[in-house]
């Protein structure tokens, strides 16, 4: 079994190219300090917002991205999904780092295309081996290194367990579409269906249909609960709600 606790001793292997996506300077500084001690890992970019993260990832094609969820612009799950949906860039491996640590969020991250998921208080002794593992094509779930088939098997098992709640597993855990995320941002601003329809150039019935889908997918009963959940999990930033619809 590969030992990911120490660097690959082969001098022929190039350093792991790492991109950090995080908007808090102190956290960036801490991550940089930890990574700089590892001779086999090289930071190639530090990005502070979601839209720029997509652009730089597709430009630089790093081996691994450390991805915050709570970002300006697109959130980390949207960025992860956008990058991974481009088949040309399937070799980019993403580790989600978040303050919102729970099993459901883990599943959302993996379904979006992440290879690993950690809370931001993760110890360097866990994070560094995870970077090496995902660069090597592995997944890390609950601190266990898994092959891609084993990781997919784990996801399927979680989906099957979730189906027992009454909704289908697909409905309960399908990440929100880009349009549904737009709707969710407007909801957190307190916008009405009429206002959302006007801003997006769609009908009120279409907004209502999207709204029903959002509530079903994230498992809440009304708009207020949806807004609270979106903010608590970092899908929408509090700063974004200051903009008027």
Q: What pTM was computed for the model? A: 0.74
Contacts with 173 (C-beta within 8 Å, 6 or more apart), sequence order:
104, 107, 108, 111, 158, 159, 162, 217
In the DSSP assignment, the letter for residue 15 is P
- Residuewise pLDDT in 10s, the chain (245 residues): 688 988 876 556 789 999 999 999 999 999 999 999 999 999 999 999 999 999 999 999 999 999 999 898 889 998 998 998 876 677 899 999 988 777 778 888 888 889 999 999 999 999 999 999 999 999 999 889 999 888 888 887 776 676 555 544 444 445 788 889 889 888 888 888 889 999 999 998 999 999 999 988 888 888 888 887 888 777 887 665 555 44
Which residues, 6 or more positions from 135, have their beta carbon under 8 angstroms from its beta carbon? Answer: 16, 63, 64, 93
What domains lie within the chain, and their CATH numbers?
Answer: 16-148 (3.40.50.2300), 169-239 (1.10.10.10)
Cα–Cα distance measured from residue 24 to residue 39, given in angstroms and rounded to the nearest whole number: 25
CA–CA distance, 50 with 40 (Å, rounded to integer): 27
The residue among 234, 235, 208 whose CA lies nearest residue 223 is 208
């Amino acid at each position: 079994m590969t030992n990911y606790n120490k660097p690959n001793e082969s001098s022929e292997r190039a350093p792991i190219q790492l991109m950090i996506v995080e908007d808090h300077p102190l956290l960036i500084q801490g991550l940089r300090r930890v990574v700089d001690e590892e001779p086999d890992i090289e930071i190639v970019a530090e990005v502070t917002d979601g839209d720029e993260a997509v652009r730089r990832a597709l430009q630089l094609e790093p081996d691994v991205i450390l991805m915050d969820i709570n970002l300006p612009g697109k959130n980390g799950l949207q960025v992860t999904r956008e990058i991974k949906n481009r088949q040309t860039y399937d070799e980019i491996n993403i580790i989600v780092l978040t303050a919102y640590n729970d099993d459901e969020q883990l599943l959302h991250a993996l379904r979006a295309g992440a290879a690993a998921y950690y809370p931001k208080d993760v110890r360097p002794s866990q994070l560094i081996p995870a970077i090496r593992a995902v660069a090597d094509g592995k997944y890390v779930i609950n601190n266990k290194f898994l092959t891609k088939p084993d990781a997919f098997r784990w996801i399927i098992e979680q989906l099957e367990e979730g189906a027992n709640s009454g909704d289908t597993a697909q409905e309960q855990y399908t990440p929100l579409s880009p349009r549904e995320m737009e709707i969710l941002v407007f909801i957190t601003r307190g916008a009405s269906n009429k206002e959302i329809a006007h801003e997006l150039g769609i009908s009120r019935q279409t907004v209502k249909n999207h709204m029903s889908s959002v509530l079903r997918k994230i498992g809440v009963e009304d708009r207020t609960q949806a807004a609270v959940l979106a903010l608590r999990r970092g899908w929408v930033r509090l700063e974004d709600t200051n903009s008027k619809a």
